[in-house]
Amino acid sequence: MKLPKVTDYEITPDMKVSELLEQMMNIGFQATEIGRAVEIIESMKREGATIFLSFTANMVASGLRSIFTLLVKRKFVDVIVTTGGAIDHDVIKAVSDYLIGRFDMDDVDLHKRGVNRLGNILIPNDRYVKFESIVQKMLSEIYEEKRVITPSELIREIGKRMKDEKSFIYWAYVNKIPIFCPGITDSALGLQIFFFKQTHKDFVIDVTGDMQELADIVFDSKKTGGIILGGGIAKHYTIGVNLLRGGLDYAVYITTAQPWDGSLSGARTNEAVSWGKIQEKANHVTVYGEASVIFPLIIIKVFDDLKLW
């Protein structure tokens, strides 16, 4: 069996990011897996696969929000699956900034000062006060039009009312890209819905109502691909629904979680093959690393190669 040789990086002063990524395939370790991820994502797009983008809320709190917005604005992805907090952060960042702190800050002091720490990102309590005001107004408007609503419909209505072109839910509304959020109640948005229901008892979030739309997307797709950042419910909802068609044809995981505890978050792509959530002949890779570093590099390379800029 003839295998490619390991090559050394050749770094130059005027090197572009995409030129660096071009070398990664034969560097070894996670660099090679990043190179494979680029190839698989490009194959998804070239083959006309329905592309599912899955990510967790913490990533929207970071600067990755603009990458998600780019992918939705340019219609690179067809479906988003995320967690409730992603909507929180997108709405809040439309009106307020988040701050950079450190991982080793005094959390007792932060709590006394009314500052919440998400890794090394700081979110003062007043951001959530603004969020409450915005969302309660939106919920009142939505209630006048519809009393029973699915999570994807609710997010679409919120996106419709967003005035920020940096918002990924705004562009999802504009481009009719559905955002599915099976765990919507586990968020500040979910808390606000709970508060709203105290005086609007007939307002219902029909979580199971989204299953038909999602299933239709899967059944109508000739091929499907998953770009899955992180784990949890968003990851499983993405791969789980693709079980209906015999699994994803393409899959890229980017994760820091390990598989040794049997958790879904740590499960590699090959484990999903055993469940039929990724096809036996699928093209797939698990990249170990933190998405705020790795994912922008991959997208730059993909957009360069496919001439999408």
Burial of residue 9 (number of CB atoms within 10 Å: 0-12, 13-18, 19+): exposed
**CB atoms closer than 10 angstroms to residue 172:** 26
For this structure, is 75 an active site residue? no
Instruction: Give the pair of three-digit tokens for residue 235.
Output: 């990851």
Selecting among 16, 277, 281, 301, the annotated active-site residue is 277
**How far is 238 from 299, CA to CA, in rounded Å?**
20
Residue 124's H or E segment, with its range, is strand 121-124
Nearest to 76, CA basis, from 167, 172, 141, 142: 172
Residue 262 CA to residue 251 CA, distance in Å, equals: 19
> φ and ψ at 117, to 5 degrees?
-110, 130
Cα-based distances in Å from 26 to 267, 278, 279: 25, 26, 26
Q: Give the span between the Cα atoms of 103 and 20, in whole angstroms.
A: 29
Report helix, strand or coil for 119.
coil
Q: Is the dihedral of CA 267, 272, 277, 278 positive or negative?
A: positive
Q: Assign 239 to helix, strand or coil.
A: helix
- 3-state SS class at 108: helix
Residues labelled as active-site residues: 277
